[in-house]
A and B are shown apart, each in its own frame.
Chain A
Amino acid sequence: MVLETNLRKILVVILASIALTACATQKKAGKMTGDVYTGTDTVEYLATGVRDRVFFATNKSTLTTASRDTLRKQAAWMRKKSSLKFTIEGHADERGTREYNLALGERRANAVKDYLMTYGISGSRLSVISYGKERPVNSGSNPLAWSQNRRSVTVKVD
């Protein structure tokens, strides 16, 4: 009887700790599919529901389905704001050589620009700049930080 209550208490404690650890590991693992960041921790918004950035896998500049969805929303909003111009920034994580990362950032930014153009945004409204690995958004040296840094950000030009 006493033993049973104690056992139950212990069980509750154990289950609670498992639940807590599960939450903790989920936070640590962040949100990644493959090694493409799928979370929103570093994301800002150009307008309601319009995310300002897309993310990439290591060494890649291909757009995921989620990225294309984000960019279609960007294009739709840009069509409504026809007087606005934008700079598309390309970035890379720190796990590569500096010069190649500059080129990779440029390739990523152009992948975004090309996609926006297929949705009717004039190329004259979109300029491209690569920062390679020079401007990380997360200073950490871990896979989650690196996935948040492999990005292309659309910035409104003032």
Chain B
Amino acid sequence: MKKLILTIFCLFLFNSSAKAVVEVDITRGNLDPLPIAVSPLHVALGSIDVKEGEKVIKNIGEKISGVVEINFKRSGLFNPLKKESFVQNPDIAHIKPRFEDWRLIKAQALVTGKVTVTEDKLRVEFRLWDVVAAKEMIALAFSTTPNNWRRVAHIISDKVYQRLTGEEGYFDTRIVYVSETGPKTQRYKKLAIMDQDGANVKYLTLGNELVLTPRFSPTNQLVTYLSYFKNLPRVYLLDIETGVQEVVGDFPGMTFAPRFSPDGKKIIMSFAKDGNSDIYTMNINTRVVEKITEHTSIDTSPSFSPDGKYICFNSDRSGLQQIYVMRSDGSQVKRITFGKGLYGTPVWSPRGDLIAFTKVHKGKFYIGVMRPDGSGERLLTENFYQEAPSWSPNGRVLIFYRETKSDSEGKGFSAKLWSIDLTGYNERLIETETDGSDPSWSSLLSK
């Protein structure tokens, strides 16, 4: 994907001096999504059609607002109102909305905009209006290349989300996951990447060897994952731009469960030898390897805290799978899970405040969160089989995967990606063209 050249310049930024009347609270379960009207963007006269390779994209103003609406709908926090009920035309609404018209259809917030397309540039201006207070809340403009029109919609979505919730959004992001096909006894797996709304799916490996558990680097340029290339299970690095894959280090045994350190400089992973799995790090540039855990138990699924000072991980040193936290040099190992059942796949929130995990108890699988000291355990969802949560970059949504039961012929089996809000609401299936597992969320692309 071409590097995005994004010039954002603020036009007339009118911040309402009084406290905004319209706002969204995302810390509580939202049973009352905010009614928001997303007007199709006005397409400036003289604009040419957007081309995506061979395809011509008509009505780009509607296409962009359509992507924004889907983002809002899927977040569970907003209720985008039906276009058919809009009274004002996009060109006029963008300059001077008649707030009485918009209030009639019960909109509390309104998004309007204008898009201009030339051969090599797509320029967007958009405004967010507080319909209740009859005020402009944001006015922004930026440009990019025409084939990046979807990212425009995601950036608009993030700006609106941020203004109305006070939190950073998560719409301008990608998901890397494992695409699965074939019988359960011989699954055919490929690395895949897509926009968080499911668009722009690309396959990163051919499927000739088993690939598992891909994770993004903090800069989103690299993916680390486990590959069974040449029947030697090892951690690899893949450059998303070039497609180049290289093995991480020169370990004389299986390496697996890789993640990046928050500064992107190291890979942290497990190395298994002679029946024992310990956690190691390797500096990507210097290639220096450090051993972090030293124990005869299985130590795996390591995850750094966002400040890089601590690591949470999975260990069975007490007999069964539990979650532990240690300092990033391996010292001060502390067990944090003491509840009934097994705990696995710990992953530290980018906000630093919570650790998400998988719990198995009495034959059921749970996705949950707890504080880094193990307190405040909260289970969000229960299923026959689900695991491996990954955080959205704003620490508000978790993506994970589920598998269904199957008979001895494998009939009934499926693996799908799902997401759920931290509040426990908005549990949602994520459509993928094949079955999918092991999803991992990127950080915001526009950082």
Please list the residues of chain A having a beta carbon within 8 angstroms of any beta carbon in chain B. 59, 61, 94-100, 102-104, 106-107, 110-111, 114, 129-130, 134-141, 145
Contacts and interface: CB of A to CB of B under 8 A. Distances in A.
A107 B298 contact: yes
Interface residues of B, number: 46
Given A61-B275, A96-B344, A96-B360, A139 B407 contact: yes
Contacts, number: 104
A114 B273 CA distance: 12
Interface of B: 183-187, 210, 212-213, 226, 231, 233, 254, 256-257, 270, 272, 274-277, 298, 300-301, 314, 316, 320-321, 342, 344-345, 358, 360, 363, 384-385, 387-388, 403, 405-410, 413, 438
A106 B358 contact: no
Contact of B385 (A94, A107, A114, A136): A94
B212 A134 contact: yes
6 contacts: A99-B345, A100-B344, A103-B256, A106-B277, A130-B272, A135-B185
B320 A59 contact: yes
A138 B387 contact: no
Contacts of A141: 384, 405-407
B344 A99 contact: yes
Contacts of A136: 184-185
B91 to A, nearest CB: 52
A124 to B, nearest CB: 13
Closest 7 CB pairs of A and B: A110-B275, A139-B410, A97-B344, A141-B405, A140-B408, A139-B184, A103-B298
A137 B185 CA distance: 6
Contacts of A145: 408
Contact of A100 (B226, B301, B407, B413): B301
B321 A97 contact: yes
Given A129-B231, A134-B212, A107 B186 contact: no
A129 B253 CA distance: 9
Nearest to B363: A95
A98 B185 contact: no
